Structure 1
């Protein structure tokens, strides 16, 4: 399996990593990092070509997202989530999609939590709510959010008797951000919270995420959201883990100079790195093959391939955790120094890895 570095120019990696310490202090991506993202169109990975997006094939995008997470966890995460929101362009009505998405500085942030309400009114909805964990919100042009649909005081129900929940897209000017991201890692994601109060949203800013509701007739917008989310998040966790293992190399070489370690202990450290590096890269290969197979198979008959994406996404996340956690004790105190790169990568890994979607081996 190719190393994630194979998908990025060395000068891109330098820009991303050189700005990473300052980005952590800013608690959002650095202007140099953003300039590169805009130049390459990375926030538009999944935006339809009809609206000046890249509309990348899923396997290509997943590999690039893994590579960006390898370059820097926060940047990879923000690109993944904001590009993921761009996928909604395939479900927006063409009129509003043309208006909102045709901008070189497009960035969509948001939340999948249903912590707001949309009350039906003439021509649209009145939105109220508060949402957390909006990665990339500080540079977003638009914000998306899920809302429980209300008709007056009554909650609108689906045919199954459950509350009807639909996503909306707002202009960033209609959203108030507030600081809420206080975690040990992914500090440059700017994953703060936002609130919306009594904002009118026209009905064409409401959409439905369902293959049958797709407006753009392309395979990318027929691909199930669950496996899309699983694959992109697993790719991020994988990329950060590969970065950590890369940094273990020089850290372990330094440990070999420690006269207090026996030859047996030194051999154990070296062999453990080789074994776990091979394990992670083999698991990455299985994962990328599963994503490719699900993309190449007829979408009307790819149930087994999609199930394999779910399985290998979870396997990759769990394997990455095993590798990082088993290697960490051999890294020495430098890995616990918050000013070192290896510490930053470790913190990013254990923060990103807390995402609930890939916690368990099975989605059930």
Structure 2
């Protein structure tokens, strides 16, 4: 299984990692990191080509996201979530999408939580609500949010009798962002909260995420959102785990040179690292086989293999967490020092892996 580094130029990795500590202090991506993201169009992975996006095939995009998360957890996460929101461009009304998405600095942030309301009014909706954890919010050009649709004081019901929930896209200037991210990892994601009050938006700022409602008739926008989200998040956690395991090797060698541990102990830790690296790589290969098969199935006929994508995404996330946790006790105090790269990687992985989408009993 190829190492995630093969998709990134060494100078890109250097820029990303050299600014990683400063990005944590800034609580958002560093300007040099953002410059690189814009130059490479990474926020536009899934934006339709019709709107100056890359519109990457899903397997290519997932591999790139794993590579970016390997370079730095916060950067990989922000690119994944913001480019994931760019996928909504395939569902936006054609009369508003070009205006919103043809922007070289495009970045869409948002939340999947349905903690807002959209009350129907003439020509559009009145939006009220507060949402948490919008990664990349500080450098976003637009913000997306899910809202419960209301007609007066009553919720509108869908065909199944449930409250109708639809996503909207707002201009950044119409949104108030406030501090909310106070966790041990992913500190440079700037995943703060936001709110809007009595905001009028036109009807064309509302869209529906459903293959039947795709405006851009391309396979990417027919792929189910659930498996797209599962695969992209699992790839991030995998990239962070590979980074952690990469750092363990030199750290264990340093301990050996210092003769601080008996030879049998050093041999045992090296063997454990080799075994866990092989296990993680085997799980990565299984995951990518499922992602590739689901994509090809969607291209050639009825979408299949989706259950395998869900299952292998969870398996990869679990294997990544367990591999890191088995090695952590042998890393010494460097792993507990918040100023070290290995600590940052550990903190990022354990924060990102709390995402409910990939946690199951």
| TM bracket, shorter-chain basis | over 0.9
Task: Please give the TM-score of this superposition, normalised by the length of structure 2.
Answer: 0.98
Task: Please give the TM-score of this superposition, normalised by the length of structure 1.
Answer: 0.98
Structure 1, 258-267 or 192-201: larger mean CA deviation? 258-267
- Does residue 296 of structure 2 align to residue 296 of structure 1? yes
Deviation at 1:161, TM superposition (A): 1.3
The DSSP-based 3-state class of the residue aligned with 1:95 is: coil
Structure 2 residue ranges without an equivalent (≥5): none
Deviation at 1:289, TM superposition (A): 1.2
Matches within 5 A, 1:161-240: 161-240=161-240
Structure 1, 314-323 or 292-301: larger mean CA deviation? 292-301
- Calculate the aligned-residue CA RMSD, in Å: 0.9
Segments of 4+ in structure 1 off by > 4 A?
Answer: none
- Does residue 141 of structure 2 align to residue 122 of structure 1? no
- Does residue 54 of structure 2 align to residue 20 of structure 1? no
CA distance in 2, matches of 1:261, 1:29: 39
CA distance in 2, matches of 1:23, 1:278: 32
Summarize deviations over 1:231-250 as a string: whole Å, max 9, x none: 00000000000000000011
The DSSP-based 3-state class of the residue aligned with 2:198 is: strand
The DSSP-based 3-state class of the residue aligned with 2:114 is: coil
The DSSP-based 3-state class of the residue aligned with 1:112 is: strand
Matches within 5 A, 1:144-163: 144-163=144-163
Aligned length: 360
Deviation at 1:38, TM superposition (A): 0.3
Summarize deviations over 1:90-143 as a string: whole Å, max 9, x none: 000111001100010000000000000000000000000000000000000000
Deviation at 1:263, TM superposition (A): 2.3
Please name the residue that 2:322 is paired with.
Answer: 322
CA distance in 1, matches of 2:167, 2:251: 46
The DSSP-based 3-state class of the residue aligned with 2:95 is: helix
CA distance in 1, matches of 2:356, 2:347: 17
Summarize deviations over 1:54-109 as a string: whole Å, max 9, x none: 00000000000000000000000000000000000000011100110001000000
Summarize deviations over 1:285-314 as a string: whole Å, max 9, x none: 1111111111111465233x1111111101
Deviation at 1:257, TM superposition (A): 3.4
CA distance in 2, matches of 1:255, 1:302: 50
The DSSP-based 3-state class of the residue aligned with 2:113 is: coil
CA distance in 1, matches of 2:258, 2:327: 17
Please name the residue that 1:66 is paired with.
Answer: 66
Please name the residue that 1:34 is paired with.
Answer: 34
CA distance in 2, matches of 1:346, 1:259: 25
**Aligned partners of 2:219 and 2:298 also within 8 Å:** no
Deviation at 1:262, TM superposition (A): 2.5
CA distance in 2, matches of 1:94, 1:71: 36
Please name the residue that 1:344 is paired with.
Answer: 344
Please name the residue that 2:253 is paired with.
Answer: 253
**Aligned partners of 2:83 and 2:108 also within 8 Å:** yes
CA distance in 2, matches of 1:22, 1:358: 29
Structure 1 residue ranges without an equivalent (≥5): none
The DSSP-based 3-state class of the residue aligned with 2:55 is: coil
